[in-house]
C-alpha cells in the first residue's frame, strides 16, 4: 500500500493529474482514495486553479468566517476536471435546501423585484443553521447591505469571470455566484449567456 501511495505522489509531481485520479481509484478503496485526494490531489488542484489566468478564484476568496470556500467546499470532493463553459442564465439552477430551483424562483432573485421579506426569511434560515450563536438580525442586515452593493456593482461594471468566477457543477447547479447570477438575470433575462467555471466531480455508483 505504501508503494502505491508513493506512486500516486509521483504522478502528482509529474502533473499527471488525470492519471492520478484514475490510478488511485483503481489502487485504493474509496475512503483511502479520498484521503489521497485531500492530502495530495486537492492542494495541487487548488494551486492550479488559482494560477489559471482565465478566471479568478484567488487566495482572498473567503467567506464571512475566513474559511477558504474553494478548498473546503467547492473542491472538498474529488474533481475529475474543470473547464470554462458558456451557458444561458435560464439553464442555471440553484439548490435551495432539499430542492433545485430556477434563478427566477429563488428569494435571491425576487428580492431584486421588491420582495425583501422573502429574502430576509431565506437569509435567516441560512444564518440560524450556520451561525446559531451569533446576532442573527445583525447578520441579516449585513447580508442585505452586501447584496445591495453587489447589485450596484454588477449593474455598473458588469460581470467578468477574470475578476470573480460564477461556478457551477456539471448539472449547471450553482456552487458559487447565486447573487451575481440573479442580478444578471434581472438585467438581461434567461437567454443571456455568461462564462462560468464548470466543475466535474467524480461520481461513484
Render pLDDT for 116-172 as a digit per residue (tens, 0 to 9): 999 999 999 989 988 889 999 999 999 999 999 999 999 999 999 999 999 999 999
Q: What is the average per-residue pLDDT within 103-107?
A: 96
If one compares 3 and 83, the residue with the highest pLDDT of the two is: 83
For residue 27 the three cell numbers come to 489502487
Q: Measured between alpha carbons, how far is 85 from 171 in angstroms, rounded to an integer?
A: 12
Is the domain of 101 the same as that of 37?
Answer: no
Lowest mean pLDDT among 69-78, 120-129, 194-203: 69-78
Lowest mean pLDDT among 35-49, 74-88, 97-111: 35-49
Specify the pLDDT at position 66: 47
**Is 58 a member of any domain?**
no
Is the domain of 190 the same as that of 91?
Answer: yes
**Is 36 a member of any domain?**
yes
Domain that holds residue 39: 1-51
Is the domain of 26 the same as that of 100?
Answer: no
Q: Measured between alpha carbons, how far is 9 from 41 in angstroms, rounded to an integer?
A: 9
Q: Measured between alpha carbons, how far is 37 from 34 in angstroms, rounded to an integer?
A: 5
**Is 11 a member of any domain?**
yes
Is the domain of 22 the same as that of 119?
Answer: no
Q: How many domains does the chain have?
A: 2
Is the domain of 113 the same as that of 175?
Answer: yes
For residue 144 the three cell numbers come to 442585505
**Is 142 a member of any domain?**
yes
**Is 157 a member of any domain?**
yes
**Is 81 a member of any domain?**
no
Is the domain of 101 the same as that of 40?
Answer: no
Is the domain of 93 the same as that of 16?
Answer: no
- Which of 52, 45, 49 has the alpha carbon at shortest distance from 18? 45
Is the domain of 90 the same as that of 21?
Answer: no
Q: Measured between alpha carbons, how far is 43 from 125 in angstroms, rounded to an integer?
A: 32
Between vectors from CA 86 to CA 85 and to CA 92, what angle results, nearest 5°? 95
Is the domain of 102 the same as that of 182?
Answer: yes
Is the domain of 100 the same as that of 162?
Answer: yes
Check: CB of residue 20 under 8 Å from CB of residue 12.
yes
Is the domain of 124 the same as that of 191?
Answer: yes
Instruction: Kindly give the residue spans of alpha helices, DSSP state H, lying in the chain.
Output: 2-13, 17-27, 30-36, 42-50, 69, 107-112, 116-130, 136-157, 178-188
Encode pLDDT of 19-61 as tens digits. Answer: 665 555 555 566 666 777 777 778 888 888 888 999 998 654 5
DSSP code string of 62-73: B-TTS-BHIIII
**Is 32 a member of any domain?**
yes
Is the domain of 139 the same as that of 38?
Answer: no
**Is 115 a member of any domain?**
yes
Residue 106 φ/ψ region, left for φ over 0, alpha for ψ in the -120 to 50 degree band, beta for the rest: beta
Q: Measured between alpha carbons, how far is 199 from 184 in angstroms, rounded to an integer?
A: 21
Amino acid at each position: 500500500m505504501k508503494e502505491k501511495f508513493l506512486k500516486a505522489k509521483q504522478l502528482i509531481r509529474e502533473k499527471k493529474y488525470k492519471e492520478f485520479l484514475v490510478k488511485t481509484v483503481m489502487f485504493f478503496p474509496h475512503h483511502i482514495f479520498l484521503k489521497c485526494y485531500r492530502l495530495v490531489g486537492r492542494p495541487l488542484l487548488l494551486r492550479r486553479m488559482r494560477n489559471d489566468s482565465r478566471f479568478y478564484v484567488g487566495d482572498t476568496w473567503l467567506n464571512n468566517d475566513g474559511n477558504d470556500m474553494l478548498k473546503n467546499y467547492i473542491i472538498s470532493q474529488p474533481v475529475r476536471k474543470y473547464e470554462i463553459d458558456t451557458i444561458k442564465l435560464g439553464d442555471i439552477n440553484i439548490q435551495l435546501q432539499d430542492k433545485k430551483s430556477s434563478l427566477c424562483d429563488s428569494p435571491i432573485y425576487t428580492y431584486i423585484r421588491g420582495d425583501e421579506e422573502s429574502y430576509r426569511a431565506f437569509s435567516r434560515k441560512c444564518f440560524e443553521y450556520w451561525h446559531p450563536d451569533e446576532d442573527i438580525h445583525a447578520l441579516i442586515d449585513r447580508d442585505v447591505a452586501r447584496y445591495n452593493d453587489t447589485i450596484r456593482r454588477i449593474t455598473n461594471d458588469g460581470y467578468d469571470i477574470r475578476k470573480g468566477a460564477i461556478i457551477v457543477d456539471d448539472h449547471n447547479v450553482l456552487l458559487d455566484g447565486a447573487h451575481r447570477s440573479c442580478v444578471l438575470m434581472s438585467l438581461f433575462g434567461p437567454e443571456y449567456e455568461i462564462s462560468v467555471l464548470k466543475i466535474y466531480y467524480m461520481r461513484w455508483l
